[in-house]
Chain A
């Protein structure tokens, strides 16, 4: 099937199998940050943005992105580095495999929620699973990142 879409603002046209998953398509196009961590739409590792909204690229049918914009971590390098420094400072990650999907969702949350409380943060990020850690370092990193972005002290 003919498909035309933007990946990180670059126009791509291609001819794909009707059941090509969005996840594999994005990897074929060089977006290796997009990874499969489960077979059941549960882990959040494959998170990308479709028209700015975080979605699961293992699940969303690829053809629904026809004529639309997909953003992956490759397209958000500066912000990802900025937040990554907070993760590193908190010693949050261990193997780091869960990071790409987690960062995509944190950056989406930062755009979507004006002044999130700790509960809001947990609720927004709960669909990103990490097998190594207990999420505490990530939570500290997210709070500090929000403080840094908003220029206010975190009160939630």
Chain B
């Protein structure tokens, strides 16, 4: 349960940032994860009145506000079109409709959770975390940055022409994933992310020539990551599943984009 002495609606990003510098304060996105932390906060900072709940699209980019819900992202027609359903596929297995109507893109990306489908998906896109103080940071760099007291205001996705697909493997629907896999193929390179290993998603980039031998590519890339065991699966099992997911995700790309 979320416990706090004060609940403040920030009137500006500067106010939110100032408040967030205190160790006993925290920003609340959708409260899905924050409420599970067993501690009493002094001030919980609500950023829902700062206009961060829109998805803007122009010819070159999408700007997705931090307070956009996972549902709104899942059902955005522009994102659907650009990713040919890959973003929807990455989100639709997360808990349930009501949950995704409640939790946010900002909390999901800022959290950089090991199991995150959301991070696994965005890390292969030409996407950037937009931070109030640190500015625009490429997603794969943001994924590795230490947790600090900045405010994530949104994410930017450039409409770089990519062939994109997403797959995850779960022991049971709506559970956390055992392994996640996102692939984006550009004009000369292929980027593959494997997440929930159970550590968080990371990427491997290769020249598209490597796709001449898809089996070989899948085996090599799957092997290049480190895996560990937890109560959902062993590391060995994860590595095996990762290889299968890479192949399946490449097949999905062939189906939706042609060869």
Interchain CB contact under 8 A, A21 and B2:
yes
The B84-103 residues at the A interface (CB cut-off 8 A) are: 92, 95-99, 101-103
| Cα-based distance from A63 to B2 in the complex (angstroms) | 13
Task: Specify which chain B residues have a CB less than 8 angstroms from the CB of A19 in the assembled complex.
Answer: 1-4, 7, 44
Interchain CB contact under 8 A, B92 and A47:
no
Q: Does A18 contact B (CB under 8 A)?
A: yes
Type the 1/0 row for B32-57, where 1 means its CB is closer than 8 Å to any CB of A. Answer: 10011000000010101000000000
Task: Specify which chain A residues have a CB less than 8 angstroms from the CB of B3 in the assembled complex.
Answer: 19
Total A-B residue contacts, Cβ distance less than 8 Å: 80
In this complex, how many residues of chain A approach chain B with their Cβ under 8 Å: the count is: 29
Q: Does B174 contact A (CB under 8 A)?
A: yes
Task: Specify which chain B residues have a CB less than 8 angstroms from the CB of A21 in the assembled complex.
Answer: 1-2
Interchain CB contact under 8 A, B48 and A64:
yes
Task: Specify which chain B residues have a CB less than 8 angstroms from the CB of A97 in the assembled complex.
Answer: none
| Cα-based distance from A109 to B102 in the complex (angstroms) | 16
The A10-34 residues at the B interface (CB cut-off 8 A) are: 18-19, 21
How far, in Å, is B41 (CB) from chain A's closest CB? 8
Q: Does B5 contact A (CB under 8 A)?
A: yes
Which of B7, B92, B97 is most buried by chain A, counting CB atoms within 10 A of its CB?
A: B97
Q: Does B160 contact A (CB under 8 A)?
A: no
How far, in Å, is B35 (CB) from chain A's closest CB? 6
Q: Does A82 contact B (CB under 8 A)?
A: no
Q: Given that A18-B5, A18-B6, A18-B44 are contacting pairs, would A60 and B97 also be in contact in the complex, using a CB cutoff of 8 Å?
A: no
Q: Which residues of B contact A (CB under 8 A)?
A: 1-7, 9, 28, 30-32, 35-36, 44, 46, 48, 92, 95-99, 101-103, 173-174
